[in-house]
Chain A
Amino acid sequence: MASFNARITMPAEAKTGEIVEIRVLVRHPMDRGGQVDSEGRVVPRKILNRLTVTYAGEPVFRYDMHTGVSANPFVSFTTRAVETGELTFEWREDGGAIFTRTARLVVT
């Protein structure tokens, strides 16, 4: 897909040890494959198959997605605020495309 639209919702800052909730919504058709489009062609499977989240370089969350994940997948998870740093979100799409977004968490 030409553009990759991800909305990451999380607090900009947190106290040390606080547990923050991170919500991630991505615009993606998650084509599970097998459907027939309006011109009678079979749509191949093309989904985001993995979301990996690292926080200050450490992996904190991974979401393995299969065809049973809805279009425009939403996920929310939590992480413990340990240090000021970047959260990096990396999506892997069928076919090898990688999409990356970052968000900064300031820990006081």
Chain B
Amino acid sequence: MSSPISPACARPEPALSRRDVMVAGAAGLALVTLPTPALAAAPPALAELIARITEGAVPERGRISFDIPQLVENGNSVDVAIQVESPMTEADHVRWIHVIAEKNPFPDVARFHLGPRSGRADIRATLRLATSQKVVAIAALSGGGYVIADIDIVVTLSACIDGG
């Protein structure tokens, strides 16, 4: 089917004015001075999404592996696999794993709730990606910490083209 991109997926990219660039630059400087190494590299929108998920805590890198094809031919169904190194005991387990696709019309894609009875933190699923973007997996640990992994994905056929 060759119908147009659906309205829900239309995300007009506003042209950046010089003023916006200046403000963004200033915000970027402010961000760099904050003690948030994991967030400093991310663009503000994504950092906000992450901060909302982790309630402001800074997620650590490592212990989590996020497998997703880097070149996706069809964004309508993308295989992802997420594993977190965890003993999955009552005292130390993964509470949930959350997937964010920042440029999807609805960036919160999925959340998997696990527990000590999972045995392993090992999830596979099929997701939709609207466009080429950074996709992030965040796992919440029972101890209160968070671990994060992200990956840049190129999508050739957007999930927003109807008929898929």
Contact = CB atoms under 8 A, between A and B. Distances in A.
Interface stretch (B36-44, B48-56, B109-117, B148-156): B109-117
Contact of A82 (B117, B162, B164): B117
Contacts of A69: 109-110, 125-128
B9 to A, nearest CB: 7
A71 B77 contact: yes
Interface string A12-39: 0000000111010000000011111010
B128 A61 contact: no
Contacts of A70: 76-78, 126-128, 159
Contacts of A64: 110-113
Interface string B119-136: 110111111110000000
Contacts, number: 113
B127 to A, nearest CB: 6
A68 interface: yes
A59 to B, nearest CB: 8
A66 B8 CA distance: 14
Interface residues of A, number: 36
Interface residues of B, number: 39
A94 to B, nearest CB: 13
Contact of A80 (B8, B107, B117, B127): B117
A77 B127 contact: no
A77 B126 contact: no
8 contacts: A19-B120, A42-B7, A61-B112, A74-B126, A75-B124, A76-B122, A77-B114, A80-B118
Given A36-B4, A72-B77, A80-B118, 16 more contacts: A32-B128, A34-B6, A38-B1, A55-B117, A58-B117, A63-B112, A64-B110, A64-B111, A67-B104, A67-B105, A68-B107, A69-B126, A71-B76, A72-B126, A76-B124, A78-B120
Interface in B39-90: 76-78
B78 A79 contact: no
A68 B3 contact: no
A19 B119 contact: yes
Contacts of B106: 66-68
Contacts of B115: 59-60
A61 B112 CA distance: 7
Nearest to B98: A64
Contacts of B104: 67-68
Contacts of A55: 117
